[in-house]
Amino acid sequence: MTLSDADPRDEITNHIPDLRAFAMSLARNHAAADDLVQDTIIKAWTNFDKFALGTNLRAWLFTILRNTFFSNRRKASREVADPDGIHAGNLSVLPQHDGKLAFREFLVAFNQLSAEHREVLILVGANGYSYEEAAGMMGVATGTAKSRANRARARLCELMGMTGPTGNAALADPAALAVLSQSGRAVA
């Protein structure tokens, strides 16, 4: 290795904003998220020989981060494993009367999901990873990732008051869909 050879580990720096965003979605508070990112960086740095050069570094870092998060949680066992968010969300967010759901309310609903649901949605929905890729990071079968994502979306709809008491989707109602699509940005 010559002096001019860049250390591939320097690349880690470029992924810190994404690591923090992913950590925030799991840990839900800045202090815990940043501790998670710090642990991830140290582990990645010291185990870099296990990274297959030329493959996706961000996916590798994400895997370390989520493994750290879930194993810390197991150790602490303060939070019961709750893949379907049964315990997490009793507080229901209902659309306002004008039919608009603020982005803030989407965020409230999202944060009521279980960590497993938040994880799969952030990987697939926000980052655009395929179910195969997400499954690889989560250490589950592709089918599991897919059904978990489906349940997570359903739960999200439920938390936003988009399902009736019988569990029937309000989807037949176009207004309900409009509510959801307006929660992000204003539809002019």
Q: C-alpha distances in angstroms, 46 versus 25, 65, 133, 165, 185?
A: 25, 14, 24, 51, 42
DSSP string across 91-160:
------TTS---HHHHHHHHHHS-HHHHHHHIIIIIT---HHHHHHHHTS-HHHHHHHHHHHHHHHHHHT
> Applying CB under 8 A, which part among 57-65, 67-75, 86-94, 148-156 lies near another protein?
148-156
110 binds another protein (CB under 8 A): yes
Quickly count: other Cβ atoms within 10 Å of residue 64's Cβ.
21
Amino acid at 68: T
Nearer to another protein, 68 or 183 (CB): 183
Q: Report, in Å, the least distance between residue 74 CB and another protein.
A: 24
Nearer to another protein, 67 or 127 (CB): 127
What track of x and - describes contact with another protein for positions 166 through 185 (by CB under 8 A)?
-xxx-x-----x--xx-xxx
Nearer to another protein, 29 or 74 (CB): 29
Alpha carbon 170 to its chain's center: 25
Q: Which residues bind another protein (CB under 8 A)?
A: 7, 10, 12-13, 16-18, 20-22, 24-25, 34, 37-38, 41-42, 45-46, 103, 106-107, 110, 121-122, 124-127, 150-151, 153-154, 156-157, 162-163, 167-169, 171, 177, 180-181, 183-185
